[in-house]
Structure 1
C-alpha cells in the first residue's frame, strides 16, 4: 500500500530534537538564576509478591526475580509482554508473532500461557492480549515455580500487578510509532470521603495499529478501574475491573526452505504471508475483575480473602503456512519458497477462570526462633468452550486459468488462493478444577541464618471432549511440590543462599486410536531445581550471581504411525529421558553520579539426556535456546540540561538451534536501542517527552527459531523503529 505520510511523520527525530533543544535552552536560562540542590538517599528496595513471602525485599529472599516498573515500561516503549525480554538475560522469545498473544522463555524453558501467569497473585489465562497501561509493575520469578503454582512449566512465573488508588493524579499522553501507529492514554486517580476513606483510579488507552509489517492494520483498546475502601485502620476492601480488546491480523513465521536456512539479511521483515484477500484479523477480548478483603487480626496477624474472575473471548484466524507436501516435509517449507497454505479459523473461543484464595499470614516466636508464616487455600475453576474450527486446504484449481491451486503460498506473500472456511474440524472443550493447600515459613534461626520452607499440595480434576462429543478424557491427580532454602547474611548487605524445589506438570494421553494407552493420565512430570546464589545490595552497587540446574522429564510418542489413526494401537505415549538446563546468571545495578547502569548475562548449558526414542537428539541442545545472552540498559542524566536524560540498551543473544538434531542453527545477533527523555513544566503541568529508536543499526537477523506444532519457524528482528510520545501530568 502506498503511504501518504508527511515528511514530519516519516522523520520525527529532527523535529523532536529541535523542540527539546528549545525547551532545554529555556530551562538552562531559568536555571542560571536558581541555586543548585543536591538530593542524596537510597531508593526503596524492590519487593516482588511473586516470590511468595509478602513484603520481604528481594535482596533478602533466597531466589531470583525481576521487577519492571510502569515508568521503565514507558521509557522503553514496551507495548506487549514479549517486549520485557529486553530487561533480563534469562528471558527470551518463544513464537512471538505480531498480532497474537505473547510467548517467551525463562531460563530456556517456554512458559505455559495457561498455568504460568498470575494477576495480583491469582491465576489467570494469558492466551490473550494483555494491556500494560493499568499495570504498576511486572514481576518475573526465575526458576521452578512449584511453591507458587500447583501445576506450571518450569523456568519461572509472571505476575501482573494492577495499579491501585494512590491519591490525586491526572495523567494523559499520546504517542506515535513507525510505521504509522497512533495511541492515546489516560491515568486518573482520586481519594475522597472522610479521611480519604475511598479511592478510585481509572486507566484508559486506545491505539490505531499500523506496524512495519505490511497490511497488518488493527486497533487496541483498554478500560480499567480500581477502587478501595478503608473501612477502618484494620479493614480494607479493594475491587478492580479491566476490559480490553485487540483486533489485528497475525503473521506466520518464515521457515527452512528444504534443507537450506534462508539468509536473514536478504529477507524483508515487513513481509506479510497472511495477506490473502480472505484473511481475517485475530480478535482478542477479555474482562477481568477481582475483589479483595484484607483484615488485620492483631499486630502480627492478618487474613486475606481474594477472588478473581476472568472471561476471555477470541477469534483465532490465520492463512496458516505449514509444511511442504510436495517434497514430503511437514516441518518446513519447500525448497522453492512455496508452502502448504491452510485456511485456519476458530471463532467464538471462550475461556473462563475463577479463583478464590483464602490466606492467613503472621509472625510467631517459639523457643527463641521467629517464624514468618503463611497458610493458604486456593480454589480454581477453568472452563474452555470452542466451536468446530476450519483447518482446510483445497487443491481444486481456481476459477481463473493460470492461477496457482488453492492451498499453496510462497514466502514473498504473492500467491493468491481461494478460501476454504468450512467449519468441520472438531476442537477440544476442557474443564479443570483444582484445590491447592500451601504453607510457607521464613524461619530466623539466628540473626544471620534463615531457613525457608514451602509446601504445596494440589488436587486436580480435568476433563476434555471434542466438540462433536467424541474422544472424552477424565482424570484426577494429586501432587505435592516442596521447596527448601537456607540463607546466610555475611553482612547486612551481603547474603548467600542455597535452595531446592520441585515443579509439576500434568498430562493425559490423547484419546486417539493410534495410542495403546489412549485417554490415560500419565505420571506427573516432576521437574526439580537446585540454585546457589549470592546477593549484594547497597549504594551505589547492587549485584547477584546465581548458579542453577533445572531438570525436567520428557514424554515422547514411541512406536510407528504416531501421526495416523488408521491402523490403531501402534504408538505409546511414555517417559523418554529428560531436559537439563545448567546455567550461570550475573546481574548488576550501579549508580555513579549521573549514570545509572543495569546489566545482566546468562550462560546456559541446555541438553536433552537419556532420549531413547530418537538417538539423533540425545545429548543435543533444545531448539530456540541460546547458550549466552547479555542485556545492558543505561541511563545518563544530562546535568547541563536539567530534565534531559539519555538512554541506551544493548541486547545480545547467541546461536540458537533450529533442528532438534542440531544440524541447522541460526547465528547470534546484537541489537542496539536508544532514546531520550525530557521533562519540563509549563505552568503547573509536568510534560514528559520521550523519543526512542529500537534496532538503531537496522540489524537483520533471525531473532528466534521456535518449534511450534512440530514445525520449524523463524522470526526476524523488527526493522529500525522510531517512536515518540508526550505525557502531561496535570
Structure 2
C-alpha cells in the first residue's frame, strides 16, 4: 500500500511537470540555465570576519549556501544542512523540534554557536528560513567570532534585504504526505533612496511522520534607506510561529539495537491522546547603520533583539522498569516496553539583545597594505521559566499501541539564567608581498553570569575574562591556487552545578580552552573550485570525581582528559557546459584521551560521531530550461554507547530532483520536484546519547516533494 501510494504521488508530480513542458513548446525557447554549486560566487562571507575578502581567499574552511540551492534540495530547516556538507552532521534532530548540528564531530551549542547577520542569537527554537538569503557555516574553532562557543564552528543566517529591481515572487510547495506551504517575496524600490522587501509564508504541516500535524507562519520585512550620501540605514523585523508535536525517539531494546527494517519510520511514539504540540514563537528585529567615512574607511552600528517563547510538550519515553524488577536506565526493555513520562514546560522565555560597534578600513603601514576591522560587541541574554512537569504515567511500547492517562501537574523547578558579555575584537589582514598574506585576530571577552532555580534557590553568580587569539598565513602559489595554515583558540565557560552532592557547588570553572590547527589548499577556476584541509582540534573535558557514597559534598568537578578530533576535509565544485557536480567528504578521527578518572574511555570514539561522511549533488541540463538533479549522502557507522560496545552501521541515501524554468508572458516560472530517499532505504540515521540515555532516529522514508515559484 505504501509503495503504491508513493508511485501514485510520483506519477502526480511527473504529470504536474509535464504541463510546463507542453507550454514550453509554445513559448520562445530560453537559453539553458546552469545552476552553480556555490551559493554566492566570490561574495564576502559574513561569518569569516574579514570584510570584503571572498571565501576563496580566506585561510579557513567555510561554506555559503544560497536560498536557491536550499530550495532545490527541499531544505526548510537548519537540520537540513546535515545533508549538504560532509563536515556537518545530525546531533539529536527530531521532527518538529529544535535543530541540533555537529561540525567536525562537535555538537554546536544552540545558545552560543549561531549568528544572524553576524550578531549572536539563541537557536533554542525553530529558526525560519523563508526570509533568509543564505546560510553560512564556519568550520573550526570559532574564538575569532564568538566570545564563548563550542568548538567545531558557527552557523550564520543571512537575512534577505531589498534588491535593486522590483519583483514579486509567489510560491507554492507540497511535500508528501500533506504538507502544503504558500509564500510571498515582494521587493519594491520606492525611490533611489528607499526600498522595501516583505516575506510572508503559511504552511500546513503534515509530514511522513505520523501524529505530527501542525502549522507554521512567517512575516518579515526589511527596509533600506540611503539617508544621505555615504549613510545607509537598514532595518528589518521577523515574526515567526511553529506549532507541531515533535518526534519521540526509539532506543536499544535491552542489549540489542533493533533492526531498522523492522521499525516503521513513520511511527511517532509521541502519540498519546493528550499529546500537545511544541510551540515556538519568535520576534526578531535589527537596525544597522553604515557610515562611509571616506574611500577606505567606514563605521557601523548594528543592534539586534530577539524574543522567544516556547511551550515544550512531549510524551517522553525514558528507560524501563521491567516486570522482573530489572531497571534499564539508559534504554528500553528487551520486549519493547518503556517508562513514559508526561513532560511539559510552558511559557519559556528567552530574550537576547546585541549591539556591535565597528570600524573597518584599509591603510598602509611600514610599506605593508592592511585591511583592519575592530570594534566592541555588547550582548545580553535573559531566560525565564515556569514550573516543569515530568510525571511518570506508566509503561508504553515501541509498537505505539499503548494509551496512558495524562498528568499535567507541575512540580519541578527550572533554571533561570542571565548573562552580560562585552567583547573587544580586532582582525587584520596584512599583505606581506610576493604572494604572502598574514591574518591576525584577537578577541577579549568579559562575562557576567548568574542563575537560580525558579523558586530563587541554588543561586550562582560569577565573572570571567579571557582572550582568544587567531593567526593565519596564506601563500598564493598561482592566481588560482592558495596554500594556508591557521591556528586559533575558542572558549567554553561553565560552573559546577549548584547541588548538595558537589563539594564546590556554584563555583566557576576555569575557562575551557579549545585549540585548532588547520592547513589546507584552495583553488578556483571557471571549470573547478576545490579545497583540501587537514585539521586538529583539542578540547579539555570536565568530569565528576565522586567517592561513591552519594552523600552531600561527595563529588568534585575536575579537569580530566580531552576530546581530540583530527581529520581531512575535501570539497570540489566541478562545472561543465550544462551541468556540474558538487562533492564534499570528511574523514574524521575523533577520540577521548587522557582520562584518569575513567581510563576505559581513552582511545574510544564519541557517541554519534561517524568516521566518514560523503555528500554528492549532481546537476545536468537535458533540454532548454530543464535540469535533472541527483544526490548521494553516505554516513559511516556511529557508536551507540560511550564504551563503543554497540554501534549502528553506516548508510547511503539517494535523492533525485528536477528543476524547470520557463517564461509565461512576462513571468518567470520555476518548477521543482524531488524524491528524497529514492530507494526507501531503512536505517538508523543517528544515535544521540542524550540525558544519559540511548536514542535512535530512523532515516526518513521515501518522500515526494514539488513546488512552483512564479516571478511576476
TM norm structure 2: 0.97
- Secondary structure (helix, strand or coil) at the match of 1:213 reads coil
**Hey, what does 1:63 align to over in structure 2?**
60
C-alpha distance in structure 2 between counterparts of 1:606 and 1:19, whole Å: 47
User: Where does 1:121-160 land on structure 2 (aligned, <5 Å)?
Assistant: 121-160=118-157
Matched residue, 1:348: 347
Q: Where does residue 728 of structure 1 map in the other structure?
A: 710
Identify the match of residue 267 of structure 1 among 263, 268, 273. Answer: 263
Question: In the alignment, what sits opposite 1:116?
Answer: 113
Tell me by how many angstroms 1:252 deviates: 1.4
Residue of structure 2 in register with 1:398 after alignment: none
Measure, in 2, the Cα distance between the counterparts of 1:611 and 1:40.
49
For residue 31 of structure 1, report the CA deviation from its aligned partner: 5.7
C-alpha deviation, 1:339, in angstroms: 1.0
Q: What displacement does 1:20 show?
A: 3.2
RMSD: 1.9
> Relative to structure 1, is the Cα distance of residues 30 and 347 closer, same or farther in structure 2, using a 3 angstrom cutoff?
closer
- Alpha-carbon deviation of 1:10? 7.5
Q: How far does residue 666 in structure 1 lie from its aligned partner after superposition?
A: 0.3
How many correspondences in the alignment? 705
Counterpart residue number, 2:423 = 436
State the shift of 1:27 in Å. 2.8
Shift of 1:561: 4.9
SS of equivalent to 2:70: helix
Q: CA deviation at 1:37?
A: 8.9
In 1, distance between residues paired with 2:169 and 2:28? 26
Residue deviations 1:353-383 (CA, integer Å, cap 9, x gap): 0100000000110121011001110000000
Correspondence for 2:226: 230
Aligned partner of 1:453 in structure 2 is 440
Greater RCO, 1 or 2 (C-alpha within 8 Å, sep 6+): 2
Q: Deviations over 1:496-532 (max 9, x none)?
A: 0000000000010011001011110011110000000
Task: Identify the residue that residue 398 of structure 2 maps to in structure 1.
Answer: 411
CA distance in 1, matches of 2:24, 2:385: 59
Match of 2:618 in 1: 634
Post-superposition offset of 1:213? 1.3
Aligned pair 1:79/2:76, yes or no?
yes
CA contact (8 A) 1:557 1:574 kept: yes
Match of 1:103 among 90, 100, 103: 100
Q: Deviations over 1:153-182 (max 9, x none)?
A: 000000000000003010001111111111
- Is the deviation greater in 138-147 or in 332-341? 332-341
Q: Partner of 2:228: helix, strand, or coil?
A: coil
Q: What is residue 44 of structure 2 aligned with on the other side?
A: 47
In structure 1, how many angstroms separate the alpha carbons of the residues matched to 2:690 and 2:6? 37
- Once the two structures are superposed, what CA deviation does each residue of 1:442-465 show, in whole Å capped at 9, x if it has no partner? 000114000000000000000000
Q: Which residue of 2 aligns with 1:400?
A: none
2:571 to 587, 596, 602: 587
Name the structure 2 match of 1:489: 476
Post-superposition Cα deviations, 1:224-249, rounded to whole Å, max 9, x if no partner, equal: 00001011230000000000000000
- Counterparts of 1:616-635 in structure 2 under 5 Å? 616-635=600-619
- Any residues of structure 2 matched to 1:53-452 within 5 Å, and which? 53-166=50-163, 167-193=165-191, 196-326=192-322, 327-393=326-392, 406-452=393-439
Q: Is the 8 A contact 2:115 2:155 kept in 1?
A: yes
Query: 1:629-651: CA deviations, max 9, x gaps?
Result: 1000011111xx31100110100
**TM-fit CA distance, 1:317:** 0.8
Q: Is the 8 A contact 2:586 2:613 kept in 1?
A: yes
Give secondary structure in 2 for the equivalent of 1:72: helix
Q: Is the 8 A contact 1:28 1:642 kept in 2?
A: no
Distance in 1 between the 2:431 and 2:577 partners? 37
What SS does the corresponding residue of 2:433 show, helix, strand or coil?
coil
Residue-by-residue CA offset, 1:204-229 (whole Å, 9 max, x unaligned): 01110111111111000000000010
* TM-score normalised by L of structure 1: 0.94
Deviation of 1:658 after TM superposition, in Å, equals 0.4
CA distance in structure 1 between the aligned counterparts of 2:245 and 2:14, rounded to whole angstroms: 34
Write the distance in 1 (CA, Å) between the matches of 2:320 and 2:596: 28
Kindly provide the CA deviation profile for residues 578-633 of structure 1, in whole angstroms up to 9, marking residues without a partner as x: 00000001110011111211001000000000112222211100000101010000
Question: Structure 1: any 5+ residue segments left out of the alignment?
Answer: 394-405
How far off is 1:110 after superposition? 0.2
Structure 1, 606-615 or 292-301: larger mean CA deviation: 606-615
For the residue of structure 1 that corresponds to 2:150, the secondary structure is coil
Contact 2:541 2:559 in 1 (8 A): yes
Q: 1:540 to 1:320 in 2, by over 3 A?
A: same
Quote how far apart the aligned CAs of 1:328 are: 2.4
**2:32 and 2:662 mapped to 1: Cα distance?**
17
- Whether the 8 Å CA contact 1:381–1:432 is kept in 2: the answer is yes
Q: Deviations over 1:301-351 (max 9, x none)?
A: 000000000000000110111112332221111111111111110000000
SS at match of 2:334: coil
Report the Cα offset of residue 539 of structure 1: 1.1
Alignment partner, residue 695 of structure 2 = 713
Q: Who is 1:576 aligned against?
A: 560
Indicate the SS of the match to 2:21.
helix
> Is the contact made by 1:701 and 1:716 (CA closer than 8 Å) also made in structure 2?
yes
What secondary structure, in the 3-state scheme, does the structure 2 residue paired with 1:11 have? Answer: helix
In structure 1, C-alpha distance between the alignment counterparts of 2:301 and 2:334, rounded to whole Å: 59
Three-state SS of the structure 1 residue aligned to 2:477 is: strand
Deviations for 1:676-722, whole angstroms, at most 9, x for unmatched residues?
A: 11111111111111110100000000000111111111100000000
1:509 counterpart residue number? 496
